[in-house]
């Protein structure tokens, strides 16, 4: 006999302290009701349409990965790993984590999918991410991102392209004039090693002012202290050495070529010497698109070059550069959110008309029209529904129309109406598409 399966257990009754709480979204999550869902989908689709013009193809990864994927990339001491990840053990005893960000998952797919033989790989992704953090405007525990990655290109042309693509996407969303593009260089490994020594020497001189988290990072990953949100740490970091003062010629040349490329494409940028990435696999370019329209949390798109990440995850040495953007924040800023589509209202009167309306509605939908078919009610009630759904036009099937084998097509904006043969309804509605 085969191995016995698990016993079927009786369901355990659940009695929450506040029964109504169970009918609310979990803190840090939210429903995307129709208006919000339309804006959300528009951000994703416009981003993909622009990215596709730059040659990016979509990669879809699972929403959970082995926990090691994120521990190995984000670092055991990072806030995301130590405080924010949703990690659980599945029934097979594996430690899994809901993805807190997209780059590690794309790189994992690059390695496991054998894409190293196809470089350069230009990937676009979108979907939900999960972090346990304090919910605030534009930042939730389940949130959504769009992002792009270029894997396999060493030169600054890739950095220029991903920043330009991001700028074009924000322009497509109507945000081109509302954001600031901040860029900096992190230098190559040699430059970072020199800078690390200068930074550690400075921080040790003021370690009594550092937070507990930053003290733990002082020897292991001091550059992460530059990312600290602690006010005391920020005061210390304000006087820290600047990485730009420790660059070698190779790093200076790389950054100059990035700036020249962006200038040639009329991408306005500001040099931000304090903009850093704390993990060791980041090199050269770091950048953020920021806005003041959302209060203190002003970053809507951020990224950089991560030449050491693929190797760190167990793949072949492969340079990479990319960014991610928050969909919720972009949808809140979008200047022209898409309006609700205006359907055609099917308005039959009587049982005979109801029977005819059903196949006619199906025919129009197959022809590409959005059609709202009221389920019951007299002519007056159905016309009220047509107004409620903001219909653009109505197809009226009354006794006179049925007797003549016709329908009345009414423009609900102008009130103009005309009688047409039933086989000509599609042509009469073409102007309302």
Does 101 appear as a known binding residue?
A: yes
Task: Give CA separation, 244 vs 239, 262, 268, 271, in Å.
Answer: 14, 19, 20, 11
- Which residues are CB-contacts of 371 (< 8 A; sequence separation ≥ 6)? 343, 344, 345, 346, 361, 364, 365
d(CA 362, CA 392): 18
Q: Is 281 known as a binding-site position?
A: yes
Number of Cβ within 10 Å of residue 389's Cβ equals: 15
SS3 of residue 325 by DSSP: strand
Q: Is 45 within any annotated ligand binding site? A: no
Residue 103 assigned to a binding site: yes
* Residue 183 phi, psi dihedral angles, 5° rounding: -130, 155
Residue 277 annotated as part of some ligand binding site = yes
Does 288 appear as a known binding residue? no
The answer to whether 102 is annotated as binding is: yes
**Segments of 57-141 assigned E as strands:** 57-58, 64-66, 86-89, 95-98, 121-130
Is 202 annotated among the ligand-binding residues?
A: no
The verdict on whether residue 406 carries a ligand-binding annotation is: no
Q: 136: left (phi > 0), else alpha (psi -120 to 50), else beta?
A: beta
- Cα–Cα dist 424/426, whole Å: 6
* Binding residue positions for L-histidine: 101-103, 131, 145, 149, 277, 281-282
* Binding residue positions: 101-103, 131, 145, 149, 277, 281-282
């Amino acid at each position: 006999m085969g191995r016995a399966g698990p016993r079927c257990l009786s369901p355990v009754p659940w009695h929450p302290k506040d029964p109504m709480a169970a009918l609310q979204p979990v803190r840090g999550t939210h429903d995307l009701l129709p208006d919000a869902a339309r804006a959300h989908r528009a951000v994703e689709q416009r981003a993909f349409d622009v990215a596709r013009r730059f040659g990016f193809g979509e990669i879809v990864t699972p929403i959970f990965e082995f926990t090691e994927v994120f521990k190995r990339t984000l670092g055991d001491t990072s806030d995301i790993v130590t405080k924010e990840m949703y990690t659980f053990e599945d029934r097979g005893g594996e430690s899994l984590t809901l993805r807190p960000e997209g780059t590690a998952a794309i790189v994992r797919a690059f390695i496991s999918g054998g894409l190293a033989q196809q470089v350069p790989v230009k990937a676009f992704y979108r979907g939900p991410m999960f972090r346990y953090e304090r919910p605030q405007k534009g930042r939730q525990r389940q949130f959504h991102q769009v992002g792009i990655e270029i894997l396999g290109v060493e030169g600054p042309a890739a950095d220029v392209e991903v920043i330009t693509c991001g700028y074009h996407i924000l322009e497509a969303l109507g945000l081109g004039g509302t954001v600031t593009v901040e860029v900096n260089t992190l230098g190559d490994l040699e430059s970072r090693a020199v800078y690390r020594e200068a930074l550690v020497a400075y921080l040790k001189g003021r370690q009594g002012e550092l937070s507990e988290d930053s003290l733990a990072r002082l020897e292991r990953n001091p550059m992460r202290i530059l990312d600290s949100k602690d006010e005391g740490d920020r005061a210390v970091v304000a006087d820290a050495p600047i990485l730009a003062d420790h660059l070698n010629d190779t790093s200076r040349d790389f950054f100059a070529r990035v700036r020249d490329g962006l200038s040639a494409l009329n991408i306005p940028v500001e040099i931000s010497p304090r903009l850093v990435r704390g993990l060791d696999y980041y090199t050269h370019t770091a950048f953020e698109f920021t806005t003041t329209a959302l209060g203190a949390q002003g970053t809507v798109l951020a990224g950089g070059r991560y030449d050491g990440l693929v190797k760190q995850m167990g793949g072949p040495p492969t340079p990479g550069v990319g960014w991610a953007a928050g969909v919720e924040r972009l949808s809140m800023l979008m200047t022209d959110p898409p309006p609700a589509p205006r359907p055609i209202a099917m308005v039959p009167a009587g049982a005979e008309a109801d029977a005819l309306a059903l196949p006619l509605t199906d025919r129009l939908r197959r022809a590409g029209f959005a059609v709202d078919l009221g389920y019951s009610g007299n002519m007056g009630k159905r016309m009220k529904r047509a107004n409620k759904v903001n219909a653009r036009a109505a197809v009226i099937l009354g006794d006179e129309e049925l007797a003549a084998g016709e329908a009345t097509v009414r423009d609900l904006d102008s009130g103009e109406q005309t009688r047409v043969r039933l086989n000509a309804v599609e042509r009469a509605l073409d102007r309302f598409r």
